[in-house]
Structure 1
Amino acid sequence: MKARKSNQEPRKKAKSNKEQPGKITIYDIAQRLQISASTVSRALQNNALINKETREQVQQVANELGYVPNWIASSLRKKRSNIIGLIVPRTSMYFQSNAISGIQHEAHKYGFSVVIAQSDESVAMEKEVVNTLYSLRVDGLLAAASMFTTNYDHFNPFIKNNIPLVFFDRVPIGFEGYSITGNDFKGGFLATEHLIQRGCKKIAHFAGALTCNLYEYRLAGYKAALEKYNIPYDESLVHVHNLTMDAGSVAAKELLSSGKDIDGLFSANDSSAVAFIQEAKKQGIDIPGQIKVVGYSNDLSSRIIAPSLTTIEQSGYKMGAKAVSTLIALINKNDALTIDENYIFDLELIERESTKN
Structure 2
Amino acid sequence: MLVYTKDTNFTSFGVGIMKTIADIAQLAGVAKSTVSRYLNGGSISVATKRKIERIIHETGYTPNNFAQSLKAKKPNIIGTIVPRLDSFASSQVLMGIDEQLRGLNYQMLIANTSQDLVREIESIYSLYNQKVAGIILLATQISEAHLKAFEETNLPVILVGQQHDQLYSLIHDDDSAGYDLGKYVLKNGHQKIAYLGVTEKDIAVGVRRKEGFKRAISEDDNCEVNYYETSFKMENAVEVTSSIIESFDPSIIVCATDNIALGALKAAHLKEIDVPSSLSIAGFGGYDVTGIIHPGLTTVKFHYEKVGRMAATSLVTLLNGGEIPRSQLSDYQIIERESVDNKLKR
TM bracket (short chain): 0.7 to 0.9
Q: Which residue of 1 aligns with 2:190?
A: 200
The alignment status of 1:30 with 2:25, answered yes or no, reads yes
Partner of 1:278: 266
Instruction: State how 1:27-176 maps to structure 2 within 5 Å.
Output: 27-45=22-40, 49=46, 51-52=49-50, 54-58=52-56, 60-61=58-59, 63=61, 69=64, 71-72=66-67, 74-75=68-69, 77-146=71-140, 149-171=141-163, 174-176=164-166
Contact 2:80-2:110 within 8 A present in 1 as well:
yes
- Unpaired runs of 5+ residues, structure 1, are 1-23
CA distance in 1 between counterparts of 2:218 and 2:65 reads: 60
293, 318, 321: which one aligns with 1:330: 318
Q: 1:142 to 1:233 in 2, by over 3 A?
A: farther
Q: Tell me which of 191, 216, 219 is aligned to 1:225.
A: 216
Deviations 1:220-246 (A, max 9, x none): 011101111225564xx2221212111
The answer on 1:318 being equivalent to 2:303 is: no
Q: Quick one: structure 1 residues 138 and 159, their matched pair in 2 at CA, closer, same or farther if it must change by over 3 Å?
A: same
Q: CA deviation at 1:158?
A: 3.3
Partners of 2:260 and 2:150 lie apart in 1 by 35
**Does the C-alpha gap of structure 1 residues 62 and 43 become closer, same or farther in structure 2, counting only changes over 3 Å?**
farther
Alpha-carbon distance between aligned partners in 2 of 1:38 and 1:150, rounded to the nearest angstrom: 44
Relative to structure 1, the CA distance from residue 54 to residue 303 in structure 2 (aligned partners, 3 Å threshold; closer, same or farther) is same
Output the CA distance in 2 between the equivalents of 1:28 and 1:280.
Answer: 63
> Cα 1:208–1:180, aligned 2, differ >3 Å: closer, same or farther?
same
SS of 1:211's partner is coil
1:238 is matched with which residue? 227
Change in 2 beyond 3 A, CA 1:267/1:52: farther
Mapped to 1, the partners of 2:33 and 2:113 lie a distance apart of: 41
CA distance in 2, matches of 1:220, 1:261: 23
User: SS where residue 181 of structure 1 aligns?
Assistant: strand
Residue in structure 2 matched with residue 341 of structure 1 by the alignment: 326
Output the CA distance in 2 between the equivalents of 1:28 and 1:139: 29
- Cα 1:114–1:42 shift into 2, 3 Å: same
Question: How many residue pairs were aligned?
Answer: 322
Amino acid at match of 2:84: R
**2:307, 2:99 → 1: CA distance?**
12
| Alpha-carbon displacement from aligned partner over 1:166-221 (angstroms, at most 9, x marks no partner) | 101134xx542210011101111112221111110011111121111222001101
Larger strand percent:
2
Distance 1:190 1:143 in 2: 28
Return the alpha-carbon distance in structure 2 between the equivalents of residues 88 and 285 of structure 1: 36
1:5 aligns with none
Select 1:191's aligned residue among 181, 201, 211: 181
Give the superposed CA RMSD.
2.6
Q: Which amino acid aligns with 2:314?
A: T
8 Å Cα contact 1:226/1:233 also seen in 2? no
**Map of 2:337 onto structure 1:** 352
Q: Please, which runs of 5 or more residues in structure 2 have no aligned partner?
A: 1-18
Question: TM-score, normalized by length of structure 2?
Answer: 0.85
Letter in 2 for 1:85: G
Contact conserved, 1:207 with 1:240, CA < 8 A, in 2?
A: yes
Deviations 1:15-70 (A, max 9, x none): xxxxxxxxx7534432233123344224434779565563131354584xxx8748
Q: Which has the larger Rg? A: 1
What whole-Å deviation, never above 9, does each CA across 1:54-109 have from its counterpart, x for those lacking one? 3131354584xxx874845x446532220000011112111111111110001111
Q: Which residue of 1 is the match for residue 252 of structure 2?
A: 264
Between the aligned partners of 2:224 and 2:154, the Cα distance in structure 1 is 44
CA distance in 2: counterparts of 1:76 and 1:97, whole angstroms: 26
- Alignment-mate amino acid for residue 100 of structure 1: L
Q: 8 Å contact 1:134–1:158 — kept in the other structure? A: no
Does structure 2 retain, via aligned residues, the 8 Å contact 1:90–1:120?
yes
Structure 1 residues 71 and 92, CA gap change in structure 2 (3 angstroms): closer
- Contact 1:150–1:211 (8 Å) recurs in 2: no
Letter in 1 for 2:182: T
C-alpha offsets along residues 264-322 of structure 1, whole Å, 9 cap, x if unaligned? 11111111111111221221212111222111111122112211000001100111110
Is 2:241 the partner of 1:252? yes
